[in-house]
Structure 1
Amino acid sequence: MNGQHFDMELHLVHKDENDQLAVIGLMIKEGASNPVFENVWSALPQEGTAEIVKLSEPIDLTNMLPKEQQSFQYTGSLTTPPCSENVKWIVLEQPIDMSKEQIDAFRQIFPDNHRPIQALEGREVIEK
């Protein structure tokens, strides 16, 4: 984001009743352990799988968001196949923390889980 690299990125994908997609992107940097993810990380499989994992308690997504919620917004595509277009993106500017151990646990299960940075292709990015 603005040429700055982050350790991870989290996408919260939403779909409305008309199948319109919106994604909230959270940047993640190495720092303090993130208690919101402890329940999730303890339920992760030992290797990548399509298996559905049940959590012992629901996640309150509001606890996941950074205090400052300035964002960059644009219309783009999904980052995974089928890479559908016309997706409303809201990328929060302030990153959240995760410990090195939390980041490494995810990377061990899902190595190289990213794609190259994509060109803007004329998209207008709005800072809010």
Structure 2
Amino acid sequence: MELHIVHESPDGEHLVVGVFMKVGMTNAALFQAFQNLPWTVNDEHAPRGALINVSNLLPRKTSYFQYRGSLTTPPCTEGVEWYVMRHPVELADAQIAAFQRLPYINPNNRPLQPINGRVIYLRDP
């Protein structure tokens, strides 16, 4: 799985942080969110006091790939700055299964796109 943290500036510029996820321990940062997954398209669950600290979704090792691309959902807006974390975070089997059971969301991946001459940088702070 991959998590996308999407930011939009007031002037409409987009930046996305991608985080790969692998099978492992329960992801505490996403525990409450996965306990309240919406089962229909317009269903919203907003448990009182539920907050996700986005920094807890990132891996400890901060190496990342950087490139210019597009959004992965329509209208697939171009000119998006991507930062894809090199190292994955863990997500429990049960959390992955809960996501996979959502009837309206799977499959939800965009087909692999060609590189089209873009440069991909590896940043290793």
Tell whether 2:110 aligns with 1:118.
Answer: no
Between the aligned residues of both structures, percent identity stands at: 36
What count of residue pairs does the alignment treat as equivalent?
Answer: 120
- Unaligned 5+ segments in structure 2 are none
Report the equivalent of 2:33.
Answer: 40
User: 1:50: Cα distance to partner?
Assistant: 2.9
Measured against aligned partners, the alpha-carbon deviations of 1:95-116 in whole angstroms (never above 9, x if no partner) come to: 0000111011111102211122
Partners of 2:7 and 2:122 in 1: CA distance = 21
Measured against aligned partners, the alpha-carbon deviations of 1:70-124 in whole angstroms (never above 9, x if no partner) come to: 0000000000000000000000001000011101111110221112211101111
Report the equivalent of 1:71.
Answer: 64
Match of residue 16, structure 1, among 9, 18, 24: 9
Partners of 1:116 and 1:48 in 2: CA distance = 24
Measured against aligned partners, the alpha-carbon deviations of 1:41-68 in whole angstroms (never above 9, x if no partner) come to: 11112x3413333133211111111100
- Unaligned 5+ segments in structure 1 are 1-7
Partners of 2:16 and 2:44 in 1: CA distance = 21
Structure 1 letter corresponding to 2:4: H
Structure 2 letter corresponding to 1:54: A
Please give the TM-score of this superposition, normalised by the length of structure 2: 0.91
Partners of 1:116 and 1:25 in 2: CA distance = 16
Report the equivalent of 1:53.
Answer: 45
RMSD (Å), alpha carbons: 1.1
